[in-house]
Structure 1
Amino acid sequence: MGGKIDKDINSGSGPYTFRIQGQNYHKMGSLLPAEGDRPCFAQLYIYDTANEIQNRLNALGRGKKNDLDEVVLSGLIDMVDTYNELAKVFRRARDTYESGETEEFSIRLIKNKERG
Structure 2
Amino acid sequence: MRNPSWESCCKQGSVQLQLLPDPPEYLKDLLERTDTQDRHFKDNLRQCNAAFAFTSLGCDIVSPEDRANNNNNNNNNKRGGLNAFQIHSALCHRQGSLTPVEGNEPSYVQLYIFDPSYAAERRQARNSNLDPEIVRELSVMLAQCNQFARIYRYAHEILSNHESSNTVSNGNDQREVSVPYIIISPSMRMRLIEGSDRRTHNPPTMEEIAAVIPIEYSDRGFRDIVLTLRSNNSLR
Please give the TM-score of this superposition, normalised by the length of structure 1: 0.48
Q: Which has the larger radius of gyration?
A: 2
Please give the TM-score of this superposition, normalised by the length of structure 2: 0.28
Q: Which has the higher strand share?
A: 2
Q: Which has the higher helix share?
A: 1
Q: Which one scores higher on RCO, CA 8 angstroms, separation ≥ 6?
A: 2
